[in-house]
Amino acid sequence: MNIIYQDKNLLVIDKPSGISADRELMMSLVKEFPELKKTGSFPRYGLIHRLDKDTSGILLIAKDNESLSFFQKQFKQRKVEKKYLALVAGDIKEKQGVIKTLIGRDRNGIKQRTYLSAGPEAKKTGPRLAETFWKKIKQYKNYTLVEAMPKTGRKHQVRVHLAHIGFPIIGDKLYSFKNQTIPKGLNRQFLHASELKIELPNKEKKKFISNLPEELKQILNKL
């Protein structure tokens, strides 16, 4: 895995698609960075946030418990700026928009689902408020490349929200529509965590960037 950045507090990696941001990932990182074993608890150790298994891109890991609390607090307070690149099915006419709904588990507990209401949130359990800004990057025949900027951090938020407005992410096996046409050669969901901005313990604001993986670039070139 490519290391984007590291200091005494933080490790930033470029997670490939196909690796779970949990046990599998952290066990491999502990071999290279033994200090992570003293951070947090198994299997997450210093994992500050998560990415879905088939989502690639920027992932943050804290090297000590104090840093773990410091960075996770920023996520909880919605101070972290995140950007994702996603290729969705369909032609989006608008240039940009915002999606604001409640998100909660479906009856089977497998998928997340949106609720038409934008509030209020459940106090302890149940649907939680989620907000995603998006803008159109490029139009292709039958597909649109968008940049999604989630303000909140609900599970599967970007995937659920884009499907909610009728434009599911291409290759998403959980939220895509039936009979969705997938570009030849795409073997994963087209979702990449491309940019993240966060404050370091020394008060410096740092922006991390991850370029689109080569296999996703090739899909766009073919389109």
Instruction: Provide the residue type at 170 as one letter.
Output: I
Distance CA 125, CA 169 (A): 27
Quick check: is 106 catalytic? no
Pairing of strands 205-209, 112-115: unpaired
- Of 54, 29, 43, nearest to 172 by C-alpha is 54
Q: How far apart are CA 216 and CA 222, in angstroms?
A: 10
> Which residue from 143, 130, 13, 152 is spatially nearest to 86, judged by alpha carbons?
143
Residue carrying the six token digits 């404050």:
199
Question: Of 7, 14, 22, 52, which is the active-site residue?
Answer: 52
Q: List residues with catalytic annotation.
A: 52
